[in-house]
């Protein structure tokens, strides 16, 4: 009997994934990861604010333990707080300082869930690794999940391809509603638990308030790139991303303005009016640190610049090593720092960080 170590998050997805593995005849062991110290979410001014509701990992652990007890699974616990800070949170802050739009979930998968977690699982004698992600592995190759609304291959494209040779995704062929139904039918305590939203270390608290604890606000002018006039004030470039409209607090003729550019040297946020203004669109990017999930030459394929975005047809040129030039159909609000993930139909070819955008 093969031993599978599964990441138990305390949510319904990993709960049902563990159940399905047991049903398939594996010896299943649960492993809960603590990646963030919620106590540091206190305001640095010393004000003991609402940290009780941020990353409630103790509650998640108890939920995971309850599920494992019901399924007859042993649950282990491991602490990756320091490693998460060094490899994920520090990256997040550094990218924001550069005026870019980081994706910490991608880095968490690369450095924590599919690296440190795997090493710990191997210490526990794992033959295989499993998680509650919606994705599929075929012959060691990452594919999209059956449930396209929940597919998470985008967030897994930066994982070392060798890892997928030992990974199982039990939810690969079922939908989220089916997962909920299974959980209810077998009486799992997580059946109706709300899905986590947002970034773990921020949770559902105010993004700007959280960031102000770590990065100083530097207010500056908002300038209309079409007319060059100052139309308002921003509270810090790190709080805005390309394509953003809400939260600009611009009235009158500028009420339908979108963020189109950041000038870090002069601390200016540029906006442009209109849903279809030319400053929102691009046709080419340079990708750095591309993580190849295939040994095949990549040329004509499709790409995604955001998790919920529809695929865009593209042509790929390898500039050197892991640096790619990608030319694509005109696309809105492509942003430096985001991840670009390439696909050949259902197969994920890999992903990398957007360095430069050409409009």
In the chain, what's the furthest Cα-to-Cα distance? 70
Q: Can you read off the two tokens belonging to residue 192? A: 């109706």
Tell which residue, 193, 208, 180, has the closest CA to residue 62: 193
Q: Nearest-5° angle of CA 206, CA 208, CA 212?
A: 120
Residue 163, CA distances (Å) to 108, 247, 298, 340 in order: 15, 41, 21, 20
Q: Nearest-5° angle of CA 351, CA 355, CA 357?
A: 105
| Positions of E strands within 61-200 | 74-79, 128-130, 136-138, 141-143, 167-168
Residue 181 φ/ψ, nearest 5 degrees: -65, -45
Q: Which residues are catalytic?
A: 108, 200
| Three-class SS state of 55 | coil
Q: How many helices (H) and strands (E) does the chain have?
A: 9, 17
What are the residues facing 344 on neighbouring strands? 347
Q: Using CA atoms, how far apart are residues 303 and 314, in angstroms rounded to an integer? A: 7
Residue 188 φ/ψ, nearest 5 degrees: -75, 140
């Amino acid at each position: 009997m093969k031993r599978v170590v599964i990441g138990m998050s305390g949510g319904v997805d990993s709960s049902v994934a563990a159940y399905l593995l047991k049903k398939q005849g594996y010896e299943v062991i649960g492993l809960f990861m603590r990646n963030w110290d919620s106590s540091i979410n206190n305001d640095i001014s010393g004000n003991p604010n609402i940290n009780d509701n941020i990353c409630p990992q103790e509650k998640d652990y108890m939920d995971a333990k309850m599920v494992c007890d019901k399924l007859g699974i042993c649950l282990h616990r491991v602490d990756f707080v320091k490693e998460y800070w060094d490899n994920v949170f520090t990256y997040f802050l550094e990218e924001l300082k550069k005026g870019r739009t980081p994706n910490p979930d991608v880095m968490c998968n690369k450095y924590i869930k599919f690296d440190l977690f795997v090493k710990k699982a191997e210490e526990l004698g794992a033959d295989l690794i499993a998680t509650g992600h919606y994705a599929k592995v075929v012959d060691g190759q990452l594919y999209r999940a059956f449930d396209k609304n929940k597919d998470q291959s985008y967030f897994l494209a930066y994982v070392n391809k060798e890892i997928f040779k030992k990974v199982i995704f039990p939810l690969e062929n079922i939908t989220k509603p089916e997962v909920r139904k299974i959980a209810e039918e077998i009486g799992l305590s997580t059946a109706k638990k709300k899905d986590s939203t947002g970034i773990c270390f921020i949770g559902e608290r105010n993004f700007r308030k959280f960031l102000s604890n770590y990065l100083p606000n530097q207010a500056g002018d908002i300038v209309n790139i079409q007319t060059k006039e100052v139309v308002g004030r921003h509270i810090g470039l790190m709080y805005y991303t390309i394509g953003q409209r809400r939260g600009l607090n611009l009235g009158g003729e500028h009420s339908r303005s979108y963020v189109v550019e950041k000038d870090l040297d002069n601390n200016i946020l540029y906006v442009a009016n209109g849903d279809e203004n030319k400053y929102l669109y691009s046709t080419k990017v340079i990708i750095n640190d591309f993580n190849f999930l295939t040994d095949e030459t990549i040329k004509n394929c499709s790409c995604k610049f955001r998790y919920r975005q529809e695929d865009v047809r593209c042509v790929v040129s390898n500039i050197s090593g892991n640096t790619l030039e990608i030319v694509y159909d005109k696309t809105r609000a492509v942003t430096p720092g985001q991840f670009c993930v390439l696909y050949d139909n259902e197969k994920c070819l890999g992903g990398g960080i957007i360095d430069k955008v050409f409009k």
